[in-house]
Chain A
Amino acid sequence: MALPSGSDPALARLSGVSHRYGDVLALDRLDLEVREGEVLAVLGPNGAGKTTAVSLLLGTLNLQTGAARVFGSAPDAADVRLRRGAMLQVSGVPETLTVGEHLALFRAYYPSPLPTARLLEMAGLQELRDRRFGKLSGGQKQRVMFALALAGDPELVFLDEPTAGLDLDGRRRLWDEIHGLKAAGRTAVLTTHYLEEADALADRIAVIHRGRLIAEGTPEEIKSRTAGRVVRCVTTISPETARSFPEAAGVETKGQHLEVVTAEPEAVLRRMFALDPELGDLTVVGVGLEEAFLALTGDGAGPEGEL
């Protein structure tokens, strides 16, 4: 396959991009590159600048400082639009049209669209083809947006928080489809604030915090720098004992709860149940990104550690 232009191996690239909304600096000299055939996860907490970065790559936001190129052209060039699909975070389509009608319209925009049946199948919408968009649940609407993003069989697809509002089943299904995209040689950029999601889907993760790229690498590399899980429960185990677990990366008490940050929650749980079979109100969740970012930035471990 011919490369789009010159010697730039990136399908899409932001170079030295800064963006301001009034007094708020949303992006601060951000460099981001999307390589052919990869799934790139742009990971960051709310307000990190993920959507701004994607909007600049989509050309829906005017560039202020820096450069944005997609397929070697301006992001909103006609040729670029034909080869790229997008699922936006804030997005609805007219509620009185059916799923099938929306797909028919979007397919017509492109020279070689995916077959309707295939799109319905990918998004799990087979049963909903004749349903009006306004009658769909939030998760179903989200799946329609996914199908519309893929209508033109794009080489590059942008998914801005694609699983927001999806239930577990919907999330799994979308994950499978994103894996499928990659297997079909497509390139995808997705934004998320779940490390778990980035880990499950991406070849490469770019961590953005306060508009800056603070870490970039494979999911393994990123994970190794952010302890994986928080085990949280009400227990008689003292924080001191928990700190002695070799797998515990951090221990904290919050009210009645004990929180243990660890990359190996199973091992920690085995130890805890052995010591306190009665422990209650148990949850195991991914490390909040804010905490992960503290780990990445607080100790200056980030490649562009903040001053």
Chain B
Amino acid sequence: MAVNTARRGLLWHVRIALLETRFQFLSSLRLPAFAVPTLLFPLFFYLFFAVVFQAGGPSLTAPTYMLATYGVFGIFAPSIFGFGVGLAQERDSGALLLKRTTPMPTFAYLFARVGTAAIFGAVVVLLLFLLAGYAAGVELHRWQWFALAGAILAGVLPLSALGLAIGAWAKQQAAVAVVNLVFIAMSVLSGLWFPISMLPGFLQDFANVLPAYHLGQLALKTIDLDLGRPLWFHLVLVGGQTALCLAVAAAGFRRFSGR
């Protein structure tokens, strides 16, 4: 019997990608160490700093500003941990090697990880928006809510690329430490925890090399609270940084299979 299976249709690829995403999401959701902090930390921070701290404050600027920055912070964790730690773990456990012996297309695996980060990110953004709208009293035009959500969620891609670069190189144990360090340090230095303008000048300049900084500014741009750099400036830099991360990741994988 002739086996005409080498070329699988587009539909098959889509189906596998969605199935991988479904199981990747389920698997992450059932991992309390991943799901709980990912979903709760940004909400907790926002509740504390933007709602409780600012209650009865003079303006809504701070809660509105923080909605953008904690939004980016909220998608940061699922993106970088999913790839950075999850990938390193699956490589060390042999799960990745096993998948490489199957017909699963590599793209489906990457899609599933990005998709899972996006789902977690969307839930965080939705909950943050509810908190902002109902508890903090943030008011935005309807299009601004959507633009802000879109700008925040687009950040899943560059931050996933960053996680991929770490996961491709670091062993599982090291990956946990490296990812945590990068996550916390970059959140602070990118102005996601408090406004970047509160940092000394040289650190504000340094922030230009951090993708999370540009993502924060892009999100803030949709609500006119960014530092005023042009749109293209942030897009070009974050695009370049993403490309660099992907190149670093690709080199890591080549080393892995040549071993």
Q: Are B19 and A108 in contact (CB under 8 A)?
A: yes
| Residues of B with C-beta under 8 A to A110 | 103
Q: Which of B1-29 contact A (CB under 8 A)?
A: 1-3, 5-8, 15-16, 19-20, 23, 26-28
| Residues of A with C-beta under 8 A to B7 | 78
| Residues of A with C-beta under 8 A to B104 | 109
Tell me the complex Cα distance, A83–B23, Å: 24
Interface check B97, CB cutoff 8 A: yes
Interface check A61, CB cutoff 8 A: yes
How many whole Å from A11's CB to the nearest CB in chain B?
13
Interface check B142, CB cutoff 8 A: no
- In this complex, what residue of B is CB-closest to A102? B23
Interface check B102, CB cutoff 8 A: yes
Residue in A1, A108, A110, A152 with the greatest tally of chain B CB atoms within 10 Å: A108
Query: Number of B residues contacting the other chain (C-beta, 8 Å)?
Result: 31
Interface check A246, CB cutoff 8 A: no
Tell me the complex Cα distance, A132–B3, Å: 35
| Residues of A with C-beta under 8 A to B102 | 81, 106, 109, 152
Residue in B26, B27, B95, B98 with the greatest tally of chain A CB atoms within 10 Å: B98
How many whole Å from A13's CB to the nearest CB in chain B?
18
Tell me the complex Cα distance, A148–B30, Å: 22
| Residues of B with C-beta under 8 A to A81 | 101-103
A93/B98 contact (C-beta < 8 A), A21-B259, A78-B6 known: yes
| Residues of B with C-beta under 8 A to A88 | 94, 97-98, 101
| Residues of B with C-beta under 8 A to A83 | 3, 5
Q: Are A97 and B257 in contact (CB under 8 A)?
A: no
| Residues of B with C-beta under 8 A to A101 | 23, 26
Q: Which of A64-110 contact B (CB under 8 A)?
A: 76-79, 81-86, 88-94, 96-97, 101, 104-106, 108-110
| Residues of A with C-beta under 8 A to B90 | 94
Q: Are A96 and B31 in contact (CB under 8 A)?
A: yes
In the complex, which of the residues A85, A89, A97 contacts B26, with contact meaning CB atoms closer than 8 Å? A97
Interface check A6, CB cutoff 8 A: no
Interface check A5, CB cutoff 8 A: no
Q: Are B5 and A111 in contact (CB under 8 A)?
A: yes
Q: Mark B81-99, 1 if CB is under 8 A from A, else 0.
A: 0000000001001110110
In the complex, which of the residues B8, B19, B97 contacts A105, with contact meaning CB atoms closer than 8 Å? B19
Tell me the complex Cα distance, A91–B96, Å: 9
Q: Are A91 and B100 in contact (CB under 8 A)?
A: no
Q: Which of A24-79 contact B (CB under 8 A)?
A: 58-62, 76-79
How many whole Å from B246's CB to the nearest CB in chain A?
21
| Residues of A with C-beta under 8 A to B201 | none
In the complex, which of the residues B3, B16, B31, B95 contacts A79, with contact meaning CB atoms closer than 8 Å? B3
In the complex, which of the residues A2, A96, A108 contacts B27, with contact meaning CB atoms closer than 8 Å? A96
> Which residues of B pack against A, CB within 8 Å?
1-3, 5-8, 15-16, 19-20, 23, 26-28, 30-31, 90, 93-95, 97-98, 100-104, 257-259
> Which residues of A pack against B, CB within 8 Å?
1-2, 21, 58-62, 76-79, 81-86, 88-94, 96-97, 101, 104-106, 108-111, 132, 145, 148, 152, 158
Q: Would you mind naming 14 contact pairs between A and B with Cβ atoms under 8 Å apart?
A: A60-B101, A78-B5, A79-B3, A83-B5, A88-B101, A90-B93, A93-B95, A94-B90, A106-B102, A109-B16, A109-B102, A110-B103, A132-B30, A148-B98
